[in-house]
Chains A and B, each alone.
Chain A
Amino acid sequence: MAKEQIYELMVIFDSRGDETEINREFDVVQSLIERHSTEFIGRADWGLKEFKYPIKKRSSGYYVYYLFKAKTDVPVELSHTLKMNEKVLRHMIIAGNSRSASYLDKLQSEPKPRAEYTKPPETTSEHIPSENKAEEPVEEEKPENVPEAVSEEPSESEGIEEPQERTDEKAEEFQEEELSDENNEKQREEEGVE
């Protein structure tokens, strides 16, 4: 009789392809574990994450964490079947302990705010609607601002007139100064001639 033990399985799925297909693959692996194990404890999806180094020429993948109780000969069979799966980029099975069970409880109570990594080709399609959304509120605001602008117009026109008057005054002052300068110059010339 083989002994029973808690096992942790971390699987990195290929991010290429539709998300629905990838999500289906998560369930396929889960059903595989449920078939082999004596007790399936839980699962945690980490979502799409960027690799720190490329794995099979890919820069990102979906991380899924499984926790289960099984007999000691099960991990070998599991790893063999996972190796055959093309969607699985990499996997790791390790013997768990009492703390690994508490990890899932922690996640449920306090879900970590993960930095979501988005695929480069998909981001272009996602950005277009976001830009449109950003434009919509601006368009809505414009009609609201129009009556305010109209109400402000008279005050602005009054404000504009004042500087005009000032300019006129200044222009007159300038003219006077110029005239006075010309007179002075004439006087100096006359004095010089004499």
Chain B
Amino acid sequence: MEKKKQSNRKNRKKKQEHRRHRQCPFCANPNIDIDYKNIDLLRRYVNDRGKIVPRKNTGVCAKHQRRLAKEIKRARFLALIPYVVYTYR
């Protein structure tokens, strides 16, 4: 059992290290404008249900994730992006 635990910990460490290498796309290219008017960009950071995608999945830094969330909420208010997307079975 001890051996198994050790191996799991090792795997976790490996995964964490692998994730760290991704760079924030907005830090890499500061010319990208995070704005509620730029709907095509915001759609990339919203899943098919209309939820904001966590930065763990997208690799965006905390600073830009805060700005993204703000602009997505503005776009939602103006009905440019849906609040919720219902999928019926």
**Interface positions of A (Cβ within 8 A of B):** 10, 12, 49, 51-53, 55, 61, 63, 65, 90, 92, 94, 99, 103
Q: Given the interface contacts A92-B74, A92-B77, A94-B74, does A65 sit within 8 Å of B37 by beta carbon?
A: yes
Secondary structure type dominating chain A contacts: strand
Secondary structure type dominating chain B contacts: loop
Cross-chain contact B79 with A92 (CB below 8 angstroms): no
List of A residues within 8 angstroms of B77 by Cβ: 90, 92
- Report the minimal beta-carbon distance from B30 to chain A, rounded to whole angstroms: 11
Report the nearest B residue to A11, measured CB to CB: B78
Cross-chain contact B78 with A12 (CB below 8 angstroms): yes
Cross-chain contact A92 with B78 (CB below 8 angstroms): yes
Interface size band for B = 10 to 19
- Count: A-B pairs, CB below 8 Å: 28
Report the nearest A residue to B38, measured CB to CB: A103
Q: How far is A61 from B79 in the complex, measured between Cα atoms in Å?
A: 10
Complex interface bits, B69-89 against A, C-beta within 8 A gives 1, otherwise 0: 000001001111111000000
List of A residues within 8 angstroms of B35 by Cβ: 99, 103
Q: How far is A4 from B43 in the complex, measured between Cα atoms in Å?
A: 33
Cβ of B17 under 8 Å from chain A: no
Cβ of B33 under 8 Å from chain A: yes
- Report the minimal beta-carbon distance from B48 to chain A, rounded to whole angstroms: 13
Q: Which of B43-89 contact A (CB under 8 A)?
A: 74, 77-83
Cross-chain contact B37 with A103 (CB below 8 angstroms): yes
Report the nearest B residue to A61, measured CB to CB: B79
Cross-chain contact A53 with B74 (CB below 8 angstroms): no
- Report the minimal beta-carbon distance from A56 to chain B, rounded to whole angstroms: 11
